Structure 1
């Protein structure tokens, strides 16, 4: 039998009955996981469901992973753990679906209603038609990957973060990009477009080729990452193969490359701002995860592999 004392870390309004004692009959510390402890707490305080809980060893700050056993966490029979309320949670899959839905809604609104936004008809140029198609295909791909390819190591995130995360896509690659690209500046008869390289089908075709290469490569790396994590687990392994021989996160690199293709095609300040912001954000993610790879795998991890930009970062 294993008995644990569970106390509150700070104010936990959904569990005013804390501290409590939870007991696991006929089990040893090596047989009880943190997830089971969370379930026991939730059984007494249903509104404090497991995803809202952060469990830590008494006196420590590091959260305990759900799949870790009490023995592996150094928790013995009769020990005390603390629980913190992380607030309302939302699934990562839901967050991604909402993020990518923004541009899929916003771009058609601007593309098909120029009179409302610009007060004039906009005879769409080849450039505008191409960008519209590429943007929709990109985010449709992201939605399908979210549904059928990605496997998430963390099930949820704080609910209110969905607004912060979605703002990046809805505002920058949604409103800002659509408002700039589908404006009269880029239409069929614009002085800015007439006789410029941006009206040359060969230049547009070259940019589309780069975009297609980046998108297919990005999908390939996502499929590689999926193959490393069996369904329902948080198992990690060293990724290898196409792209991974140069950087830890080629999926981020190819994502940046696809947006560089669109920015180069249009020359739009809005497109380049989105490239800059997204590149910075993904670089921060990549460097943090790259460091975690090196820490977790030690000497097994390739020493010459960069984080996101081959031979650079």
Structure 2
């Protein structure tokens, strides 16, 4: 079928869209991106705030290379347009997520006396110490956490390329809560408690070696993932190379390995193990979803993995 002008029927889904017209004249060879731009212009909303679905409820994903004809849209085809609400870009979301623990952990060191309730100086005559010094292990742990999240912030700003531009602003608290509470307040409070003792030299040096290896390896896999997607594109290739021959998501594998090292140096403190375990659980779920997506998207071109995050185990 050749190129022709067609008319698409537009219907609101969910909340009314007052400026949404009933019909949209457009060329059949227009891209899906062009469709989103046209609907955004008509409604006055950002294109990232809109979700367009076909009559069978399948999502019409934005793409600059897929045409309306490719999407089986013809004259008088019906589309449904939904307002997703106020949006926030994913880069800002990640920056805010990591900012929590990046600030909270040093605050436990800086305001140690106030947080852990040491005796005020004017009562020191009673023989109760006004403070206890931060151990070298605690200083090292704080440095490790801060460096980890500085790395994550820099990767967010200069390395990552996001498949989706935005998410609903209403989801921001849900997305940041885990990092600010579990990774920041919960983990930090117990790591820097005055009751903690120094790590053994073996645990300290082994943990530091594992952590440095994990952080550098995680960064390398992020570079691999970045190079799979062209700037400004949501298309991606099949990840291969360092770590990807072992598991679906070596970036997650090295992430949990790094937090394993933190738990080791902490002396296997329960909060450190809980944070490590929760991260392992969440990222195993994400890795499984990616494995299924890769199999569906790439078919026989993709070499299926049995392990998604820990070789021969998970």
- Matched with 1:200 is 200
Q: Does 2:133 align with 1:123?
A: yes
1:7 aligns with 2:11: yes
The CA distance in 2 between the partners of 1:122 and 1:94, in whole Å, is 38
Q: Matched residues in 2 for 1:38 and 1:303: separation?
A: 34
1:135 to 145, 158, 174: 145
Q: Deviations over 1:283-306 (max 9, x none)?
A: 111101101111122222113452
Q: Select which of 92, 95, 98 maps to 1:97.
A: 95
Cα distance in 1, alignment partners of residues 41 and 237 from structure 2: 34
State how 1:164-175 maps to structure 2 within 5 Å: 164-175=174-185
Task: Map residues 234-313 of structure 1 onto 2, 5 A cutoff.
Answer: 234-266=234-266, 267-313=268-314
Give the TM-score taking structure 1 as reference length.
0.90
Runs of 4+ deviating beyond 3 Å: none
Q: Deviations over 1:112-169 (max 9, x none)?
A: 1111101222301111011010000000000000000000111111112111111110
Of 97, 104, 114 in structure 2, the residue corresponding to residue 106 of structure 1 is: 104
Which structure 2 residues correspond to residues 19-38 of structure 1 after superposition, within 5 A? Answer: 19-24=21-26, 27=27, 29-30=28-29, 32-38=30-36
Residue 83 of structure 1 corresponds to 81
Q: For the residues of structure 2 that align with 1:66 and 1:148, how far apart are their CA atoms?
A: 24
- Listed as ranges, the gaps of 5+ residues in structure 1 are 187-192
SS at match of 2:278: helix
| Equivalent residues of 2:21, 2:42 under 8 A apart | no
Matching residue of 1:218: 218
- 1 CA distance for matches of 2:57 and 2:287? 24
Unaligned stretches of 5+ in structure 2? 119-130
Distance 1:304 1:55 in 2: 33
Going from structure 1 to structure 2, the CA distance change for 1:201 and 1:226 (only over 3 Å counts) comes to same
Contact 2:246 2:311 in 1 (8 A): yes
Partner SS, residue 160 of structure 1: helix
- Corresponding position of 2:165: 155
Alignment match, 1:50: 47
